[in-house]
Amino acid sequence: MAFLNGLKCRECGREYPVEPLNVCDFCFGPLEVVYDYATISEVVSQDSIAKGPLSIWRYKDLLPAEGDDPVDIMAGFTPLLKARGLGKTLGLNNLYIKNDSVNPSFSFKDRVVSVAATKALEFGYETIACASTGNLACSVAAHCARAGVRAVVFIPSDLERGKIIGAAIYNPVLVSVDGTYDQVNRLCSELADDYPWAFVNINMRPYYAEGSKTLGYEVAEQLGWRVPDHVVVPSASGAMFTKIWKGLNEMACLGLLDGVPSSSFGVDQNTVHHPAVTTKMHMQQAEGCSPIATAWNSNQSQVVPVRPDSLAKSLAIGNPADGIYALKVIERSGGSAYAVPESDIVDGIKLLAETEGIFTETAGGVTVSGLKNLADSGAIKPDDLTVVYITGNGLKTQEAVEQVVNPLSIKPSISSFESVFEGAK
Amino acid sequence: MGKQRVKFVFEENLVKQPVIYELGQKFKIVTNIRRAEVGEDVGWVVLELDGDEPEIKRGLEWVSSTGVRVDPLGGDVIDG
């Protein structure tokens, strides 16, 4: 069962029952899930987690949906790899890659959508919807196929064909909207008010976002029930960034980390910072859409929306819903935020592929280039335990790296091969 | 009649402009501010607009024409 007390406004603190709501009726602030941690602490342990399935649902007691019959295509429990090649290149001896590009629909979105879809069915919805520029569309369509419910997926009409196919193959109702980014955004927001559907990142958002906590849980578990010194994370809305932090702190407060006794969550579950969580949170955004990094680096307390213009489409959220909360996480953790130059994105993709054999999408290129900046600047020391999150698969954005295709062209003869091969050497 | 919840963001050169007052004067729209923060460089307001839907649409187009950014309440709903 889900151990929930209800929903609570992050701004004014008003409480609401467990319903498909995302905005406080009084102050229009965002709603967050409130857990019954007292009960959770009685049922969850390292052993109970370790006995669970090899998916995010091994943490079912810490998620806001029933975990007994989830909509599960086996999202999560992705590999945590010691990055010897990339680490050697960057001068980092203790670097790990959380490779979330190998989720069933090839991005971390499977984590959040699995939770949102499970919750949507609990609420009795028969249609699950989203507006997406790629990864979310694929994940929603895939989970709906698994659950046997209708998916309605809105995409901008100029979306790359590879991403459309990745969603269309699951046979959702695919709606291509001919309009600007802002127009698509506004339309979908209005549709969410008018149609009795579960929009995963609108009326399901308090539940949906919690799925990203599992990125924190898994890293701590895979490191042997401890937290890293640094995490390097790509960011769009800021939600995943804040939830990784929340996940690490939940584990500490519940006594799930080795050598760390359980402790109180205090008055606000969403801002708790356990002293054992010494992880510095480093956010990476692409320069062409970096409202949170810009705010952080100019000491602004507010995040000014921007119109996205970035190669990293999956990070291109100009008006990030959790931007202000992400700034607070950076501050509390002693972390940083960086706007990666657009020209460095492809370099990051290639660096990861050539040193680790992992092909990531443009968001991963942002993350790896941001990691390089942190290493070069000395913000991460050579022996610091560091985890870099790779959240999407390179097969989704192949057009970004087409220039790597430069084969040696030969005639069908040994002599032709040897002359060209020798020249290439 | 309809209601719409929106967020206005005012950049530095617009922070001092009485845009919300003028919105209520120029159009048959009731403006109901719920939360706001105004700094020296930027300000934002979340509010509910009450009126006929076509009138709200015209009003928001006018607000956008002043240079104030108009967004859905909870940030972008398009996701990556």
Helix/strand/coil (H/E/C) assignment for every residue in chain A: CCCEEEEEECCCCCEECCCCCCECCCCCCEEEEEECHHHHHHHCCHHHHHCCCCCHHHHHHHCCCCCCCCCCCCCCCCCEEECHHHHHHHCCCCEEEEEHHHCCCCECHHHHHHHHHHHHHHCCCCEEEEEECCHHHHHHHHHHHHHCCEEEEEEECCCCHHHHHHHHCCCCEEEEECCCHHHHHHHHHHHHHHCCCEECCCCCHHHHHHHHHHHHHHHHHHCCCCCCCEEEEECCCCHHHHHHHHHHHHHHHCCCCCCCCCCCCCCCCCCCCCCCCCCEEEEEEEHHHCHHHHHHHCCCCCCCCCCCCCCCHHHCCCCCCCHHHHHHHHHHHCCEEEEECHHHHHHHHHHHHHHHCCCECHHHHHHHHHHHHHHHHCCCCCCCCEEEEECEEHHHHHHHHHHHCCCCCCCCCHHHHHHHHHHHC
Chain B CA closest to residue A312: B80
ipTM, interface predicted TM-score of the complex: 0.91
pLDDT tens profile A18-36: 999 999 999 999 999 999 9
Q: Of B9, B35, B75, which has the smallest distance from its Cβ to A304's Cβ? A: B9
In this complex, do A136 and B80 lie within 8 Å of one another by their Cβ atoms? yes
Half-sphere exposure of residue A93, counting CA atoms within 13 Å on the CB side? Answer: 4
Average pLDDT, chain B: 92
By a Cβ cutoff of 8 Å, what residues of chain B touch chain A? 4-5, 7, 9, 11, 34-35, 37, 39, 41-42, 44, 46, 48, 69, 71-80
pLDDT for residue A84: 98
B-facing residues of A in 219-248 (CB < 8 A) are: 236-237
Is residue A125 within 8 A of residue A149, CB to CB? The reply is: yes
| Arch. (CATH architecture) of B2-72 | 2-Layer Sandwich (3.30)
Chain B CA closest to residue A182: B71
Residues of B with CB below 8 A from A131's CB?
A: 77-79
Distance from CA of B51 to the nearest CA of A (A): 15
Res. A181 pLDDT band, cuts 50 70 90: confident
Chain B CA closest to residue A134: B80
Q: Of B34, B73, B80, which has the smallest distance from its Cβ to A316's Cβ? A: B80
In this complex, do A185 and B77 lie within 8 Å of one another by their Cβ atoms? yes
Map out the domains of chain A with their CATH numbers. 80-106+211-404 (3.40.50.1100)
pLDDT for residue A389: 98
pLDDT for residue A267: 81
In this complex, do A302 and B37 lie within 8 Å of one another by their Cβ atoms? yes
pLDDT for residue A268: 85
Chain A CA closest to residue B46: A28
Residues of A with CB below 8 A from B15's CB?
A: none
Q: Is the pLDDT of residue A301 over 90?
A: no
Domain ranges of chain B: 2-72
Chain A CA closest to residue B48: A28
B-facing residues of A in 356-385 (CB < 8 A) are: 363
pLDDT tens profile A110-128: 999 999 999 999 999 999 9
Contacts of A81 (CB under 8 A, 6+ apart): A96, A97, A99, A356, A358
Res. A245 pLDDT band, cuts 50 70 90: very high
B-facing residues of A in 43-102 (CB < 8 A) are: none
pLDDT tens profile A356-414: 999 999 999 999 999 999 999 999 999 999 999 999 999 989 999 999 999 999 999 99
Q: Is the pLDDT of residue B80 over 90?
A: no
Res. A302 pLDDT band, cuts 50 70 90: confident
Is residue A161 within 8 A of residue A396, CB to CB? The reply is: no
Nearest to B6 by CA among A32, A134, A305: A305
Average pLDDT over residues A258-277: 91
Q: Which of A11, A21, A182, A199 has the most B C-beta neighbours within 10 Å, making it the best mutation to test the interface with B?
A: A182
Higher pLDDT, A317 or B39: A317
**What percent of chain A clears pLDDT 70, i.e. is strictly above it?**
100
- Least confident segment among A139-143, A227-231, A310-314: A310-314
pLDDT for residue A186: 81
Q: Of A27, A135, A304, which has the smallest distance from its Cβ to B34's Cβ? A: A27
Q: Of B39, B73, B79, which has the smallest distance from its Cβ to A28's Cβ? A: B73
| Model confidence pTM above 0.90 | yes
Res. A93 pLDDT band, cuts 50 70 90: very high
Query: Could you give phi then psi for residue B40, rounded to 5 degrees?
Result: -70, -35
Is residue A203 within 8 A of residue A22, CB to CB? The reply is: yes
In this complex, do A133 and B78 lie within 8 Å of one another by their Cβ atoms? yes
pLDDT tens profile A157-171: 888 787 889 999 999
Q: Looking at the complex, does the CB of residue A38 fall below 8 Å from at least one CB of chain B?
A: no
Distance from CA of A126 to the nearest CA of B (A): 21
Higher pLDDT, A189 or A212: A212
pLDDT for residue B8: 94
Chain B CA closest to residue A235: B80
pLDDT for residue A158: 80
pLDDT for residue A121: 98
Q: Looking at the complex, does the CB of residue A192 fall below 8 Å from at least one CB of chain B?
A: yes
Q: Looking at the complex, does the CB of residue A160 fall below 8 Å from at least one CB of chain B?
A: no
Chain B CA closest to residue A130: B78
